């Protein structure tokens, strides 16, 4: 199969779908790999590094889209990209379709077969292709929040850990999954007073065990949420219902109960965000203020640390990428976890929560792939 990787074009997105090490693996499996010139420049991988790994370098993204049987990317295709996709082609990348009707329509019209990294599953109930970027974004959320809390950046001017004789800042983390765990690690490590809210009691139990009492856990009712959000200096939005638009847990009205200069980092913004007042921002202009509360809502947070993120992402995507390259649609038909990643196939929406969010009929992947 011919596998192609264009340079990412989203704002300040420096990750790359295929690193030279991954290219070498595809080539070892007998595939022809084409890479857009400069695709790895954000992580210091130049064209020669890709040539040494066995790739051919092409001059433009349109060469990649025209000539590839499978396109491997990081971020969801941008408008100028989805118009270049076509029937019979496989797209393997993050998609986040539920909050993005335009992209969904574009993918449906193209006829492409699109696998969303964020809905591929594993045997333990996890999302193995999302998890590494959630680890990165969870850790980064505290760095971003700490920076935004500085007075000159619009925040209320508190230091997360406090100092001897002065109380630390309060951090409320809504959603104790992968993002929530890694945010809590960083916040607790810096000495903040941390509370994690979740709707899963087994998960709260696990977190309580992990932190040995160093963070508080709370079952997420409206009452508990209000209490923690009103008391917080920094709130991290980290909930997820896989594939679906994020539930709006913090309403605009609730902002009036928050401290002036408090900071919200809505990591769940790629699924539409869990604060009613959130809208996606970019690394060039990451924050805005509503009712005295600073909002940080960057939809590609891991793009800020591409050297770490591209390695972690390539580690996680390689296995199924090779399966897709080796077997094409048969790989999806054979593996239920990869089937869970199929969001769009030849003009049909094949993910239930995406179809529900956008008002499409949902067709099971098994039905479109003729799996018995």
Q: Judged by CB under 6 A, does residue 200 bind ligand NAI?
A: yes
Q: 309-368: which residues touch ligand NAI (CB under 6 A)?
A: none
Q: Judged by CB under 6 A, does residue 16 bind ligand NAI?
A: no
Q: 92-121: which residues touch ligand NAI (CB under 6 A)?
A: 118
Q: Is 270 one of the catalytic residues?
A: yes
Which of 300, 317 has the CB closer to ligand CC(=O)C(=O)O? 300
Q: Judged by CB under 6 A, does residue 178 bind ligand NAI?
A: yes
Which of 240, 324 has the CB closer to ligand CC(=O)C(=O)O? 240
Q: Judged by CB under 6 A, does residue 302 bind ligand CC(=O)C(=O)O?
A: yes
Q: 115-154: which residues touch ligand NAI (CB under 6 A)?
A: 118, 130-131, 133-134, 137
Distance CA 82, CA 65 (A): 9
When CB distances are held under 5 to 8 angstroms depending on the partner's kind, the choice from Mg ion, ligand CC(=O)C(=O)O, ligand NAI, none that residue 199 binds is ligand NAI
Q: Judged by CB under 6 A, does residue 94 bind ligand CC(=O)C(=O)O?
A: yes
Min dist. Cβ of residue 61 to ligand CC(=O)C(=O)O (A): 19
Q: 130-159: which residues touch ligand CC(=O)C(=O)O (CB under 6 A)?
A: 130, 133
Contacting residues toward Mg ion, per CB under 5 A: 270, 299-300
Name the residues annotated as catalytic: 96, 270
């Amino acid at each position: 199969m011919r596998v192609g990787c264009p340079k990412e074009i989203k704002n300040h997105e420096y990750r790359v779908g295929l690193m030279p090490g991954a290219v070498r693996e595809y080539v070892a499996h007998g595939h022809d790999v084409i890479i857009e010139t400069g695709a790895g420049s954000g992580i210091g991988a130049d064209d020669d590094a890709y040539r040494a790994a066995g790739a051919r370098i092409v001059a433009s993204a349109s060469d990649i889209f025209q000539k590839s049987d499978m396109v491997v990317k990081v971020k969801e295709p941008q408008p100028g990209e989805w118009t270049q996709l076509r029937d019979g082609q496989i797209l393997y990348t993050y998609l986040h379709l539920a909050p993005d009707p335009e992209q969904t329509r574009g993918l449906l019209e193209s006829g492409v077969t699109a696998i969303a990294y964020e809905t591929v599953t594993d045997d333990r109930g996890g999302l193995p292709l999302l998890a590494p970027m959630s680890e990165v974004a969870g850790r980064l959320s505290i760095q971003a929040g700490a920076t935004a809390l500085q007075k000159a950046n619009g925040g209320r001017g508190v230091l997360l850990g406090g100092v001897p004789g002065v109380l630390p800042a309060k951090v409320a983390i809504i959603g104790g999954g992968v993002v929530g765990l890694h945010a809590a690690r960083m916040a607790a490590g810096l000495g903040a007073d941390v509370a994690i809210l979740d709707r899963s009691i087994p998960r709260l139990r696990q977190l309580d065990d992990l932190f040995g009492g160093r963070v508080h856990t709370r079952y997420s009712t409206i009452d508990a949420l209000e209490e923690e959000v009103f008391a917080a200096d920094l709130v991290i939005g980290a909930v997820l219902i896989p594939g679906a638009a994020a539930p709006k847990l913090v309403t605009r009205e609730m902002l009036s109960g928050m401290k002036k200069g408090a900071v919200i980092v809505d990591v769940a913004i790629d699924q539409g965000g869990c604060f009613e007042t959130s809208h996606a921002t970019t690394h060039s202009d990451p924050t805005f203020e509503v009712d005295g509360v600073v909002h940080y809502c960057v939809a590609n947070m891991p793009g800020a640390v591409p050297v770490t993120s591209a390695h972690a992402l390539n580690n996680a995507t390689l296995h199924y990428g090779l399966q897709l390259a080796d077997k094409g649609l048969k790989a999806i038909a054979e593996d239920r976890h990869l089937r869970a990643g199929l969001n769009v196939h030849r003009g049909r929406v094949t993910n239930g929560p995406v179809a529900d969010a956008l008002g499409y009929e949902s067709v099971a992947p098994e039905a479109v792939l003729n799996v018995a």
